[in-house]
Structure 1
């Protein structure tokens, strides 16, 4: 496995975020009357099935070490998944993703408040410009419960990424993702029983397909944020917005307003500048 430099970490996050957009697109394709909690349970179970083969041959000594942090992250992930379905079923794909990408801004703030990470002027500037870009895209006058749901998803994403540092270092990516899914399944099942809807097998297919993409993204996040400080790379999370705009146009016939492109430019262009700045700094340190 190659050494994880800042440049490689940012590239992985860029790839991961655009893969995650495909998961969002599948969820947005769900029927309007979908049983939300049942779909979430399908995601939990299909994730477990997908991950077990990768964990069978992994070193599983002290598999349940740090279980309390896995429980915390697992239920934050579950909570966020519910609001993700709500947001994606209501808002345009590009708009939802624009709101999801407030997560890096929240990560920077939470990392400084609770993990004592020092935000550089460059990273704070990029985060501020990105936040302004998000406001231009969303427009405060368009605020709704669906918008609030998307912000809640962003908060859960930020918390989950930061809490990776609390997990045992001997757990590999697959073990971490498996535990995240396992610990949340009992609550997901309880919610399904409370929901009381008939079982829908098409939802299982969509949940499994969606999981292939989102688990790839989650695995990248676990690896990257375990070794690189959030304030140095979190801005790379913004780039999935480009993929969301493209898929929204091609798949859902969405027509983004000019403000979408202006806001996106305010997000992406500072990111490119920050990436080049961090790579130059890394070269100086290594030389």
Structure 2
């Protein structure tokens, strides 16, 4: 695959993050009282149908082999999807996205627990700053079930990212996403049956639209991260929070307050600082080699 410039890669990532925000906005636009588990089931099903052609075209690898960690990751993914709906329906779009951005912070202590990853002074500092940022945004006196739900989503996102290390290497990105969604369908179906709500086709269209936006974002990520080193462009990911603010204002008339700005800064700026440190460290290692 030919190399692309860092500038063009960052532009693509910015566009991808804006597209991803629309996935959240579509979910937030679900009508009050919509059957949540039915929607999550539709989301799993439409994702599988969208990804199936990309899996069928690849006949070089055995799709249904080594499924243990796909099964685990698929149910963590499903658990996160359920709480994502709860949080998006109750909180401003920008607030939810700010909490979602704590996933990279949560990966630091979780990586230590799961894999004994090294915790350095900068990583510990970034984690503490991010935790303070969450408290500033949600404010301890106003912590609600929706805020806890958003934080649970961030934990599932961090866990899913760490579980990637356990997945078999022979599966492509499309196959991995396909299996992640497929593994959760039986449990999602049982939840929808337990919910016992009348069948509603509107959530199906919403689920398909949400998945389309997310798959576009995932495709852009695969394209740019395969051609440009991650440390050079990953900071562009944080523009998604600005996109959430803009979409929240224009679509839902949600104007962020000062606590959101301060809290978001405590989450995002330390991550950018840590990414910069990692970039400098990477360049030094390359020079030594």
The TM-score normalised by the length of structure 2 is 0.85
Matched residues in 1 for 2:118 and 2:217: separation?
26
**Superposition RMSD in Å:** 3.2
- How many pairs does the alignment contain? 283
Deviations 1:166-209 (A, max 9, x none): 00001000000111111111111122222222222221111101
Which residue does 2:161 correspond to in 1?
161
Matched residues in 2 for 1:172 and 1:105: separation?
27
Partner SS for 1:200: coil
Matched residues in 1 for 2:108 and 2:8: separation?
20
Judging changes above 3 Å, is the alpha-carbon distance between structure 1 residues 254 and 269 closer, same or farther for their aligned structure 2 residues? same
Partner SS for 1:175: helix
Judging changes above 3 Å, is the alpha-carbon distance between structure 1 residues 125 and 265 closer, same or farther for their aligned structure 2 residues? same
Judging changes above 3 Å, is the alpha-carbon distance between structure 1 residues 59 and 220 closer, same or farther for their aligned structure 2 residues? farther
Matched residues in 2 for 1:102 and 1:237: separation?
13
Q: How does 1:1-287 map to 2 (within 5 A)?
A: 1=1, 17-217=17-217, 239-287=239-287
Matched residues in 2 for 1:113 and 1:11: separation?
35
Partner SS for 1:150: helix
Matched residues in 2 for 1:279 and 1:117: separation?
18
Query: Tell me, which stretches of 5 or more residues in structure 1 are unaligned?
Result: none
Partner SS for 1:112: helix
Matched residues in 1 for 2:128 and 2:224: separation?
23
Partner SS for 2:83: helix
Shift of 1:11: 8.8
Matched residues in 1 for 2:223 and 2:116: separation?
21
Judging changes above 3 Å, is the alpha-carbon distance between structure 1 residues 76 and 56 closer, same or farther for their aligned structure 2 residues? same
Alpha-carbon contact 2:105-2:126 (below 8 Å) kept = no
Shift of 1:42: 0.9
Shift of 1:57: 1.4
Matched residues in 2 for 1:158 and 1:225: separation?
19
Partner SS for 2:34: coil
Judging changes above 3 Å, is the alpha-carbon distance between structure 1 residues 131 and 2 closer, same or farther for their aligned structure 2 residues? farther
Shift of 1:61: 2.6
Structure 1 segments of 4 or more deviating over 4 A? 7-18, 216-226, 233-239
Matched residues in 2 for 1:155 and 1:26: separation?
22
The TM-score normalised by the length of structure 1 is 0.86
Shift of 1:68: 1.1
Judging changes above 3 Å, is the alpha-carbon distance between structure 1 residues 225 and 149 closer, same or farther for their aligned structure 2 residues? farther
Partner SS for 2:64: coil
Partner SS for 1:117: coil
Partner SS for 1:130: helix
Judging changes above 3 Å, is the alpha-carbon distance between structure 1 residues 176 and 18 closer, same or farther for their aligned structure 2 residues? same
Matched residues in 2 for 1:102 and 1:209: separation?
25
Alpha-carbon contact 1:104-1:158 (below 8 Å) kept = yes
